[in-house]
Every structure is written in structure tokens, then in C-alpha cells.
């Protein structure tokens, strides 16, 4: 069922293309506290997605973080093949993890080889999956992050008016929720607003952090 959903999603003409770069401004309590960038690269039979986040100025004092995410996703079925997550917070050691997936062998490698069952997306590529096929909201796949799998559930809260960079949009509001497989532990939360067809741009993404909400707002129309 999950694999069929991914195959159906991948068959839809994607609203993104290689070379797309979306720049965001990070806000916290009304203050500008950093930047975030989403980038897409066409890698032949695969898509390569990148996300970089950096707080600066007052934001670096309140929530000091630099983060890089990278994922390689097979175009044929939107299955993640490679995922890298790097993070650095001031005063703490760097964290980095790389994962390789081999769907044919049914294995993935994160520090050691482990069995892998069913399709999955990583916590970066599922943002683009939602752009690719909103119908996937009815039966989302598993999500992967640093050695763990999560069950995804979504609340599609319809459209609402959203003003971004002085432009007004009718945006689709989506709230994804992840719960760890084998338990009830939640993995953070975020809220996304997607712009109209055909591009379905992520206009704004809100991230829950220990001290409230970090808001990433599209800086300008790309």
C-alpha cells in the first residue's frame, strides 16, 4: 500500500526542478534570527535535496544552531537512498549521521547493517513529497531520521490567506506528526503552508523548538 502510494506520487510531474533554490528568513518572537535554504538538484535518475539552517545575531544567542540536511531520492518511487544530517550547537559537539538504503537487498546502513522493510522518506524529502502529491496525505509513508523510523500522520487543515514578503496567497495548511515506531514518543513538530499550483511552494514552515516557535518564511518569489 505504502509503496503503491509512493509510486503514484512519483508518476506525477513534479512541481520542482533541478536548480530550484528557496531562501527563507527565520523569525522568533517577531525578530529576524537567521536564514534557511532549500535546494533541489537533478541527479539523473534521482533527486538530491539540501537544507541548510543557520541562526545569527540575537538568534544565535537564544538558539545557536547550524544544520545541514541532504537526501538522495529515487525518482521512480521517491524512495530515499541516502540521508545525511549534520548539526552543530554552540558549546556542544557536532552531530553527524549518514545512512545508506538498499531497497533491493532490504537493508540500510547506519553504523551497522540493519533490516529495512517497506518504503520510506526522510525528514527532508517528505516536504517535497507533499509538494509532489497532496493525495499522499491520505496514506503517508514512514519517515526516517538518524537510525529511527517514524509513523507519519497528517492533518490537512484546508486553505487560509497567508501574507509572505508582501504578497497574499491562498495557502494549504498541513500539520505532519511523527510518532516513533514501537512507541508513543513524538519527534518534534512542524506546520507547513503550501502555495498554489503548479509549484506548491513551501511558503512558510514553523518549527517547534524548546523556547517557542521558529518561523521560516519565504524571503521572495523565486
| Confidence check: pLDDT of 1 > 50 | no
39 burial class (0-12, 13-18, 19+ CB within 10 angstroms)? Answer: middle
Q: Tell me: the pLDDT tens digits for 66-109?
A: 899 999 999 988 899 999 999 887 777 778 889 999 998 999 99
**Single pTM value for the model:** 0.88
Domain assignment of residue 157, given as a range: 2-218
Rounded distance, CA 100 to CA 83, Å? Answer: 7
| Confidence check: pLDDT of 58 > 80 | no
Q: What total number of domains does the chain contain?
A: 1
DSSP 144-184: EETTEEEEEEEEEEEEEEEEETTEEEEEEEEEEEEEETTS-
- Distance from the Cα of residue 43 to its chain's centroid: 19
Amino acid at each position: 500500500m505504502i509503496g503503491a502510494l509512493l509510486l503514484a506520487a512519483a508518476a506525477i510531474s513534479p512541481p520542482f526542478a533541478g536548480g530550484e533554490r528557496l531562501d527563507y528568513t527565520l523569525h522568533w518572537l517577531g525578530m529576524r534570527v537567521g536564514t534557511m535554504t532549500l535546494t533541489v538538484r537533478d541527479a539523473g535518475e534521482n533527486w538530491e535535496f539540501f537544507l541548510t539552517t543557520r541562526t545569527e545575531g540575537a538568534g544565535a544567542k537564544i538558539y545557536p544552531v547550524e544544520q545541514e540536511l541532504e537526501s538522495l531520492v529515487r525518482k521512480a518511487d521517491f524512495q530515499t537512498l541516502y540521508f545525511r544530517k549534520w548539526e552543530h550547537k554552540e558549546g556542544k559537539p557536532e552531530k553527524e549521521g549518514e545512512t545508506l538504503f538498499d531497497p533491493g537487498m532490504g537493508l540500510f546502513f547506519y553504523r551497522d547493517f540493519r533490516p529495512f522493510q517497506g518504503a520510506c522518506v526522510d525528514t527532508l524529502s517528505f516536504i517535497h513529497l507533499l509538494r509532489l502529491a497532496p493525495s499522499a496525505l491520505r496514506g503517508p509513508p514512514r519517515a526516517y531520521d538518524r537510525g529511527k523510523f517514524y509513523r507519519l500522520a497528517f492533518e490537512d487543515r484546508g486553505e487560509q490567506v497567508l501574507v509572505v514578503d508582501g504578497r497574499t496567497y491562498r495557502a494549504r495548511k498541513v500539520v505532519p506528526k511523527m510518532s516513533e515506531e514501537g512507541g508513543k514518543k513524538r519527534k518534534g513538530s512542524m506546520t507547513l503552508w503550501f502555495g498554489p499550483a503548479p509549484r506548491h511552494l513551501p511558503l512558510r514552515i514553523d518549527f517547534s523548538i524548546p523556547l517557542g516557535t521558529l518561523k521560516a518564511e519565504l524571503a521572495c518569489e523565486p
